[in-house]
Structure 1
Amino acid sequence: MAIDASLDLQDTANAALQQAARDHLWMHFTNMASYDDHEVPIIVRGEGAYLYDSHGRRYLDGLAGLFVSQLGHGRTELAEAAARQAGQLGFMPIWSYAHPNAVELAQRLSTYTPGDLNRVFFTSGGGEAVESAWKLAKQYFKLTGKPTKHKVLSRSIAYHGTTQGALSITGLPDLKMPYEPLVPSTFRVPNTNFYRAPIHGDDPEAFGRWAADQIAVAIENEGPDSVAAIFLEPVQNSGGCFPPPPGYFQRVREICDEYDVLLVSDEVICAFGRLGHMFGAERYGYQPDIITCAKGITSGYAPLGAMIASDKLFEPFGKGNVFYHGYTFGGHPVSTAVAMANLDIFEREGINEHVQANEAAFRQTLEKLLDLPIVGHVRGDGYFYGIELVKDKATKETFTEEECEHLLAGFLSHALFDAGLYCRADDRGEPVVQLAPPLICEQPQFDEMEQILRSVLTEAWKRVG
């Protein structure tokens, strides 16, 4: 009887949560009407690579929350670091003042960054880091005698954030249209989707050279004296994980040097182990002028982001010019304490080395899915992969907009979750399933992902094939 009473109380509490969620919680990037006849999934705890909902059901976290939970869930060391700091100094802005954690974390990050990227400007998250980078680029050129350089380039269907400036840089028209007019002076160049290369589809290096050269074409078209920066992810997220072809970033660096354009490496997703290195630029061997980062810097245990700039870009600001820009919670004492503890674990447990040792096995396990008729391509690096879904493998024919809606929103998103896998089924570009698990995952988790995907994608093909 006691057990029955406890279950009744739990059911009552869950019902109250469901009603409150429907009545008051406005979820991000969510069709709220989709929960008119479905429960809102409510996650109540996490442990390692797994999440648990309000009914006690377990799910493999195949997306690390949102490309965030590098070390997995339930890391008490990170919670304790937050508690200690909150008890000592719960808040202090870094507007003309400093606190030890911000100073020490900035110094520590400078030891990981490539080249002379030694100046760390903290933000609350990734979109703010992108905003900061664009504002820095514009003010830097005004201070150095090139006031007309203000335009920025980014890649087709790339996502860089939702604030007005970051959304302007984003290359996803459907996300932008409801909020136009946005900040002007942003332009798109081709991405590095080799699977659908419009030219040199049999030669990755030639395709990469072509894609990079289109940046030079865009700069010439806009006028070199007007272009300030280009924003590029090491592996482009939106569209389903596009790695750079061989030589791509090296050619981009040459073009940026030739035209005096800043190369911004947007590593909000790709930094802190996602690709087996602290920064993706290191993996692919290129030197950015600015890195933007967030997410994995704290493994999600507290919100934090950063724009990391070169000494060259800081130079005019060290001579009395002020960067009139900042965020209340940028460099928060608790967040920076958590980041330091997070990086301690990275080094102590060899997280980057773990990714490097296991990424080939992850790729090979996912590539087993290529025997399914609906799986056209598996691509990515590190612990960051996209699986593109197609109607016809031989021709690479994709699904119509209506079919995508039926396939992704109508079936896959719910079916994968119901089968015990939290991941992303998305159609920003072609329809893809994205996987970016916690960096602690190993072969048992890879196998679990593959088995769930195989079962659900097989059923999906029956519905649309």
Structure 2
Amino acid sequence: MTMTEPSPAGTATWMSEIAARHLWMHFTHMGKHPAQPVPVITRGNGVNIYDENGRRILDGISGLFVVQAGHGRRELARVASSQAETLAFFPVWGFATPPAAELAERLATLAPADLNRVFFTTGGGEAVESAWKAAKQYFTLIGKPAKHKVISRATAYHGAPQGALAITGIPKMKQDFEPLTPGAFRAPNTNAYRNPQFDGDPEAFGRWAADRIEEAILFEGPEAVAAVFVEPVQNSGGCFTPPPGYFARVREICDRHDVLLVSDEVICSFGRHGTTFACEKFGYLPDIITCAKGMTSGYSPIGAMIASERVMEPFLRPSVSFLHGSTFGGHPVSAAVALANLDLMQRERLNERVLQHEQAFGDTMRKLLDLPIVGDVRGDGYFWAVELVKDKATRETFDADERERLVRGFLPTALLDNGLYCRADDRGDVVVQVAPPLICGQPEFDEIEQILRQTFIDAAEIV
């Protein structure tokens, strides 16, 4: 560890300098620092965050699709403190703790049908990793060991561990980490804006997109495919919602070929779409749910894989173990915070709040369609994306240099300077995503729209 003297500019600059020298930030172009100061966020309150200079910024993406109940909820902090004083840590490797057992029961009660078995992780990527491993072993245990492959969708992000990254459908994110876990293959996603041949017939688009999953299963061989991984609303690429009938058809396809359906709800669960689990809102029953993020509103890290009794059955046979786990999975402090967060969400009726306000949020966001640079506005619940285009009439997107200027140059700084923290992304086409805390209402929707509007008007001048 090195020690350096504080900068004469004061504590704020000093903290940014420390970060530039020592903090290896995630998914970040590190080479631009310290020439470009690292933004330092020091506190949060309600729907707002504050930087080192005391500037108020509307948290338009809930930290990272996480802070459902808003920042600064002292009741959650007090629960964490109390649990840490009672039992700060013990693993669930052959043991239980009261918070872990109670949270498993609560999640089993909240999950649909017989998804009763809860395997805890520390985050979403680990939950996805666990689901793939569980699917592989499940089929081995029932006498079908060749079924090990998975199908996911183009541009979908499912996590950073090697297995979850293999399931991820973003080639650029994977190229530096090859070879990845083998056995993951892709089908098209449900980006209706980029499939204009189905304009006006969403049901036909849903059938087409679902049938591409069956096509992938048949191409790889049903005897070799273990699972299909889908998000209820796909995050990467910009909030792709399911067309009518899509998930019902995917469920039928999985049943026909004895393939497990995994609903990756790391973002979409815990109220983001107005239900505890979004598969319920979109009308399908998975075999496994993966979840994380909003379970604690970010006040402590935790994730989970929730499996059906069908999936669990062979693991209950004599002498069978699932040789997988992590030190901090089911951490007692995180589990206690999750229970308190779920109580809070129920008490404040946050799911109902999202359902009550989602139409107004969508209507407010769609006002941006009058801008020439805005090609599409799409989403559901409190999860929306604005796709930016070079030519609205032709839906032409930006070239590589223009993307660099927009997504990594102009937009992040301009949005933050204008008072909004949200996400500019081009893992598919160029989008800006918003997913505010579930306590937001019309005043926040209006503020988000106004800041986006001014920022997009300015962005149009540089491309």
Alignment TM-score, normalising by the size of structure 1: 0.97
Map of 1:292 onto structure 2: 290
Map of 1:375 onto structure 2: 374
**Structure 2 counterpart SS, 1:264:** strand
Q: Which amino acid counterpart does residue 111 of structure 1 have in structure 2?
A: T
CA drift of 1:111 comes to 1.1
Map of 2:127 onto structure 1: 129
What 5-or-longer segments of structure 2 have no aligned partner? 1-5
What 5-or-longer segments of structure 1 have no aligned partner? 1-7
CA drift of 1:16 comes to 2.3
Map of 1:331 onto structure 2: 330
Aligned pair partner of 1:152 in 135, 150, 153: 150
- Structure 2: distance between partners of 1:227 and 1:248: 20
Alignment of 1:60-459 (within 5 A): 60-197=58-195, 199-320=197-318, 321-459=320-458
**Structure 1 counterpart SS, 2:77:** helix
| CA RMSD across the alignment | 1.2
- Structure 1: distance between partners of 2:196 and 2:421: 33
Alpha carbons 2:157, 2:169 under 8 Å: kept? yes
- Structure 2: distance between partners of 1:89 and 1:337: 11
**Structure 2 counterpart SS, 1:86:** helix
**Structure 1 counterpart SS, 2:193:** helix
Alpha carbons 2:114, 2:309 under 8 Å: kept? yes
CA drift of 1:10 comes to 9.9
Q: Which amino acid counterpart does residue 251 of structure 2 have in structure 1?
A: R
- Structure 2: distance between partners of 1:45 and 1:295: 19
**Structure 1 counterpart SS, 2:118:** strand
- Structure 1: distance between partners of 2:423 and 2:13: 26
- Structure 2: distance between partners of 1:269 and 1:318: 30
**Structure 2 counterpart SS, 1:463:** coil
Q: Which amino acid counterpart does residue 185 of structure 2 have in structure 1?
A: F
Alignment TM-score, normalising by the size of structure 2: 0.97
Q: Which amino acid counterpart does residue 165 of structure 2 have in structure 1?
A: L
Map of 1:4 onto structure 2: none
CA drift of 1:265 comes to 0.1
**Structure 1 counterpart SS, 2:134:** helix
- Structure 1: distance between partners of 2:9 and 2:445: 33
Distance 1:11 1:337, change over 3 A: farther
Aligned pair partner of 2:34 in 33, 36, 57: 36
CA drift of 1:449 comes to 0.5
Alpha carbons 2:17, 2:37 under 8 Å: kept? no
CA drift of 1:314 comes to 0.6
- Structure 2: distance between partners of 1:189 and 1:9: 52
Alpha carbons 2:227, 2:262 under 8 Å: kept? yes
CA drift of 1:20 comes to 1.2
- Structure 2: distance between partners of 1:175 and 1:36: 25
Answer with 395-404 or 248-257: which moved more. 395-404
Q: Which amino acid counterpart does residue 454 of structure 1 have in structure 2?
A: R
- Structure 2: distance between partners of 1:248 and 1:144: 29
- Structure 2: distance between partners of 1:401 and 1:277: 38
**Structure 2 counterpart SS, 1:455:** helix
Distance 1:200 1:330, change over 3 A: same
- Structure 2: distance between partners of 1:366 and 1:223: 43
Alpha carbons 2:150, 2:184 under 8 Å: kept? yes
CA drift of 1:29 comes to 0.3
- Structure 1: distance between partners of 2:338 and 2:308: 21
Alpha carbons 2:290, 2:306 under 8 Å: kept? yes
Cα offsets for 1:48-74 (capped at 9, x unmatched): 000001110110000000000000100
- Structure 2: distance between partners of 1:171 and 1:215: 14
**Structure 1 counterpart SS, 2:93:** coil
Alpha carbons 2:155, 2:428 under 8 Å: kept? yes
CA drift of 1:11 comes to 4.7
CA drift of 1:35 comes to 2.4
CA drift of 1:17 comes to 1.2
CA drift of 1:12 comes to 2.0
- The count of residues paired between Structure 1 and Structure 2 equals 457
- Structure 1: distance between partners of 2:339 and 2:64: 21
Map of 2:3 onto structure 1: none
- Structure 2: distance between partners of 1:332 and 1:307: 15
- Structure 1: distance between partners of 2:449 and 2:345: 27
- Structure 2: distance between partners of 1:199 and 1:88: 60
